[in-house]
């Protein structure tokens, strides 16, 4: 830390992203990316757009925002496009949390929530998940602040149903309820359909997972127009040009290629089913994941040992060195071939080969 670093940030522990080795020698199952390349339509649109790199991008991001709104059954003022969904989440902490409106989220969830709370100097309360990693909705009643729930949750992959989400919103009329749907496309019902009904619901989604665009950084928030207006106030006070020209064009391209996205999601869900079946045979227990990852624990071998053994054999998975999580591995679902390699390697490790 330099002697110039502001005291208000000096105790901040930044988010630790998953490893991103640059040599590509690993089968990468650690950061929940798509194993499939970007849509060719996304690539050609981005390539054409790069010729306009000398100009600032459209700060309204109008064409892409309108396309997203149409897809969600909403209108332009109900959507804000951001630099990954991390940015809309940070905007939500900035816009809707303060000393009188703490942030509430499960104690086991996306690790960035507490970092955003710390960064913005807002109080937060982590509400413990049940023993089986599910959320007890009775723990979220009449809260006055902002509630962040990832649905499905990370790193467990467990999803709430749409009626449970509606109950959460109804139980907390004085709170903004943020539903983080980063992994919604792998088998969870979206809460987008509730937006016209509730003025305290913000849904966030990303192009990083099902749409194979993690490197382009594109996400969005959707909600009541006043909520979106507030978030726009934050956006125009931090970075009006938050979406670069190439990403904006790629986003339009991938939305024109809905069949490709759907095909990839189906393949991931099929490979997830295969992996769950095979890992059960090897002695793993898993949560009921609706995401593009599974959360697995072996009956006798610890999470850290398995993580290290897999890494030494060229397979990267995510291990969290935290109580309640440290015996588990979070394994991204890749292609069927990658998952076969994972199963074979785990089988070798467990049999001492």
Q: Which residues of the shown chain bind ligand PMP in the complex (CB under 6 A)?
A: 84-86, 110, 150, 154, 180, 182, 206, 208, 214, 219
Q: What is the closest distance, in whole angstroms, from the C-beta atom of residue 154 to ligand PMP in the complex?
A: 4
Least distance (Å) from ligand PMP to the CB of residue 84? 3
* 219 vs 345 by CB, closer to ligand PMP: 219
Dist CA 81 CA 21 (whole Å): 29
Query: H or E element: which one contains 114?
Result: helix 112-119
Q: Which is nearer to ligand PMP, 206 or 345 (CB)?
A: 206
Based on the number of CB atoms within 10 Å of its own CB, is 154 exposed (0-12), middle (13-18) or buried (19 or more)?
A: buried
Cβ closer to ligand PMP: 86 or 230? 86
Nearer to ligand PMP among residue 219 and residue 251 (C-beta): 219
Report residue 266 as tokens: 């189906």
Return the number of other C-beta atoms located less than 10 Å from residue 214's C-beta.
18
> H or E stretch including 117?
helix 112-119
Q: By Cβ distance, which residue is nearest to ligand PMP?
A: 84
Q: Give SS3 for 33.
A: coil
Minimum CB distance to ligand PMP, residue 347 (Å): 28
CA 223-31-331 angle, to 5 degrees, is 110
- Provide the token pair at 230: 């507030």
**8 A C-beta contact, residue 19 and residue 319:** no
Identity of the residue, 103 or 150, whose beta carbon is nearer to ligand PMP in the bound complex: 150
Supply the angle between the helices 336-350 and 258-281 in degrees, to the nearest 10.
20
Minimum distance from residue 150 beta carbon to ligand PMP (Å)? 4
For the CB of residue 339, give the shortest distance to ligand PMP in the complex, in Å: 20
* Minimum separation from the CB atom of position 217 to ligand PMP (A): 7
Which CB atom, from 188 or from 208, has the smaller least distance to ligand PMP?
A: 208
Integer Cα distance of 193 and 313 in angstroms: 45
């Amino acid at each position: 830390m330099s002697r110039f670093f502001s005291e208000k940030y000096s105790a901040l522990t930044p988010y630790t992203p998953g490893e991103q080795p640059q040599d590509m020698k690993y089968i990468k199952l650690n950061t929940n990316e798509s194993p499939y390349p970007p849509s060719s339509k996304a690539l050609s649109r981005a390539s054409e757009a790069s010729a306009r790199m000398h100009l600032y991008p459209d700060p309204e991001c109008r064409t892409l925002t309108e396309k997203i709104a149409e897809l969600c059954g909403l209108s332009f003022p109900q959507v804000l496009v951001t630099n990954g969904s991390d940015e809309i989440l940070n905007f939500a902490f900035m816009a809707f949390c303060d000393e009188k409106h703490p942030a509430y989220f499960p104690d086991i969830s996306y690790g960035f929530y507490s970092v955003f709370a710390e960064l913005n100097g807002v109080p937060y309360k982590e509400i413990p998940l049940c023993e089986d990693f599910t959320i007890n909705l009775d723990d979220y009643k009449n809260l006055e602040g902002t509630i962040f729930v990832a649905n499905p949750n990370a790193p467990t992959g467990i999803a709430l149903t749409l009626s449970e989400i509606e109950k959460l919103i109804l139980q907390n009329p004085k709170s903004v309820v943020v539903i983080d749907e980063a992994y919604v496309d792998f088998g969870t019902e979206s809460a987008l359909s509730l937006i016209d009904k509730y003025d305290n619901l913000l849904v966030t989604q990303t192009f990083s997972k099902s749409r194979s665009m993690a490197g382009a950084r594109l996400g969005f928030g959707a909600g009541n127009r006043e909520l979106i207006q507030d978030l726009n106030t934050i956006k125009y006070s931090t970075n009006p040009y938050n979406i670069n020209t190439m990403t904006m064009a790629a986003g339009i391209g991938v939305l024109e290629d809905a069949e490709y996205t759907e095909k990839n999601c189906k393949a991931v869900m099929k490979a997830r089913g295969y992996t769950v079946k095979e890992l059960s045979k090897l002695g793993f227990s898993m949560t009921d994941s609706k995401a593009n990852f599974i959360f697995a624990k072996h009956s006798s071998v610890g999470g850290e040992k398995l993580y290290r053994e897999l890494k030494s054999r060229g397979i990267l998975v995510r291990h969290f060195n935290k109580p309640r999580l440290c015996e588990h591995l979070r394994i991204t679902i890749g292609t069927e071939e990658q998952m076969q390699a994972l199963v074979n390697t785990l089988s070798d490790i467990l049999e001492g080969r």
